[in-house]
Amino acid sequence: MKTLSRIFLAATLALPVLSHAAFVPPVPEIAGKAYYLTDFYSGQVIAQKDADNRIEPASLTKLMTAYLTFKALHEKRLTLEQTLTVSTKGWKIEGSKMFLDPKVPARVDDLIKGMIVQSGNDACVTLAEAIAGSEEVFAQMMNAEARRLGMKNTQFRNATGLPDPEHYTTVHDLAILSASIIRDFPEFYPIYSMKSFTYNNISQPNRNLLLYRDPNVDGMKTGHTDGAGFNLITSAHRDGRRVLSVVVGTASPEARAAESSKLINYALQFFETPKLYTANKPVSTLGLYKGAKGSLNVGFTSDIFATVGKGDAAKIKSTIDIKQPLIAPVKAGQAVGKLTVTLDGKVIEERPVVALETVEEGGFFRRLWDAIRLLFK
């Protein structure tokens, strides 16, 4: 019969216990259609408005175009040195461009910078056609990748973000995508901090005004159409933390920068994100029946963080519930219990606890002896 055993764990923080609660003011008023503010390391939502309502992403679409490009590079279906020639469709496309020349092939490296820094629609179409054969097939790949990443309310129709009634997403889904780029392709993320890029003797500035104003900001992407308004995804880091904001539907380039800055500063000033547990470091060693060894190290395969009001870290409490008895065989990564993190009695994080090692079945006499032991347990 399976039962639960509970392990009470103090968060591994060498911090003084404060006698007063952290001061966290209300979320500032944001002049936009929707927004989403999250901590990158904990994944916890700090603030949101209409997070799952459909919105027009405009050029924020290019985050997914970039994600699939980075994936193609990682899988060696493209190389940075490879050259591509813009098609007639890409050359004639409307909207922002990096001004590709149909007579001069461009390096993939330059196309990526043109897509990210200059928001070039011609670069997006050229990359999409190289990866998928056509922009239409590439859009199908975008949708498949969105589903894989957990973007539940997104549908893409093109690689650029040009208006289409069936091309939509949410600020929640855009936050998932932004975090995925930073997590999965850190080697390419610095491109998002480039303040300008020159191609074909034409220099264009990055339209993210916060790159010039806030030293903590190092990405990510702007977007605009008449229907969408002015959109901005911002990533900022300070004191070992990283926060992400998505703000859409503002009135101007200045407004999207100002409203995004409000959210980023709110997160960095009034919250903290301590690390509670380290990846692949055992948090407990548990008894194991019928195994080649009688114990099992358990923990987490990724670092565990929690975001709380600044000053509240020392009040975090953790418990782990383990399904007992644990019986071999057990595979590394197999869930064996659940971590619950609370603050003042409120659950702020839940994660599966997993086996950190594989333990095969023991020999006949070990299994027989443990079967007898289990009869009396």
Rounded Cα distance, 155 and 167, in Å: 5
Q: Are strands 316-324 and 3-10 parallel, antiparallel or unpaired?
A: antiparallel
Answer yes or no: are the C-beta atoms of 263 and 247 closer than 8 Å. Answer: yes
Assigned token pair, 296: 């099992």
203 conformational bin, left if phi > 0, alpha if psi -120 to 50, beta if neither: beta
221: annotated active-site residue: no
SS (H, E, C) the chain: CCEEEEEEEECCCCCCCCCCCCCCCCCCCCCCCEEEEEECCCCCEEEEECCCCCECCHHHHHHHHHHHHHHHHHCCCCCCCCEECCCHHHHHCCCCCCCCCCCCCEEHHHHHHHHHCCCCHHHHHHHHHHHHCCHHHHHHHHHHHHHHHCCCCCECCCCCCCCCCCCEECHHHHHHHHHHHHHHCCCCHHHHHCCEEEECCEEEECCCCHHHHCCCEEEEEEEEECCCEEEEEEEEEECCEEEEEEEEEECCHHHHHHHHHHHHHHHHHHEECCEEECCCCCCEEEECECECCCEEEEECCCCEECCEECCCHHHEEEEEEEEECCECCECCCCEEEEEEEEECCEEEEEEEEEECCCECECCHHHHHHHHHHHHCC
Residues 6+ apart with CB under 8 A from 76: none
Phi/psi at 292 (nearest 5 deg)?
-65, -20
Q: Which of 33, 42, 62, 261 is catalytic?
A: 62
Answer yes or no: are the C-beta atoms of 362 and 328 closer than 8 Å. Answer: yes
Answer yes or no: are the C-beta atoms of 254 and 209 closer than 8 Å. Answer: yes
Q: Which of 119, 180, 235, 260 is catalytic?
A: 119
119: annotated active-site residue: yes
33: annotated active-site residue: no
Q: Which of 42, 59, 180, 245 is catalytic?
A: 59
**Which residues are tagged catalytic?**
59, 62, 119
